[in-house]
Amino acid sequence: MLKTRVVTALVLLVLFLAALFWLPSPAWAVFAGALVLPAAWEWGKLIKLRSMACGLYVVLVAAACASLFGLAQGNAAIGPRAAQLAAYLGASLFWIIVVPLWLWRSWLPRSRWLATLTGLVVLVPTWLALVELRNLGPGLLLLLMSVAWISDTAAYFAGRRFGRRKLAESISPGKTWEGVAGAVLAVSLYAALWSLAWHAYFPQVFQSMHFGALGMLLFLWLLTAIGVYGDLFESALKRRAGVKDSGALLPGHGGVLDRIDALTAVLPVAALVYLL
pLDDT per residue as tens digits for the range 43-91? 999 999 988 999 999 999 999 998 887 766 654 444 557 778 889 999 9
CB within 8 Å of 63: residues ≥ 6 apart:
none
CA angle in degrees (0–180, nearest 5) for 68-110-104: 90
Short-list 35, 36, 42, CA closest to 19: 35
Per-residue pLDDT at 184 exceeds 70: yes
What is the mean predicted confidence (pLDDT) over 98-126? 92
Per-residue pLDDT at 254 exceeds 90: no
- Alpha carbons 221 and 178: distance in angstroms, whole number: 16
Q: Range with the lowest mean pLDDT among 4-8, 147-151, 272-276?
A: 4-8
Count of Cβ atoms closer than 10 Å to residue 136 Cβ: 13
Give the CA dihedral 188, 193, 199, 200, nearest 10 degrees.
-120
Stronger pLDDT, 22 or 11, i.e. the higher one = 22
pLDDT interval class at 7 (50, 70, 90): confident
Q: Range with the lowest mean pLDDT among 43-52, 97-106, 166-175, 232-241?
A: 166-175
Per-residue pLDDT at 244 exceeds 80: yes
Per-residue pLDDT at 2 exceeds 60: no
**pTM for the whole thing?**
0.90
Query: What helix, strand, coil percent values describe the chain, rounded to 5?
Result: 80, 5, 15
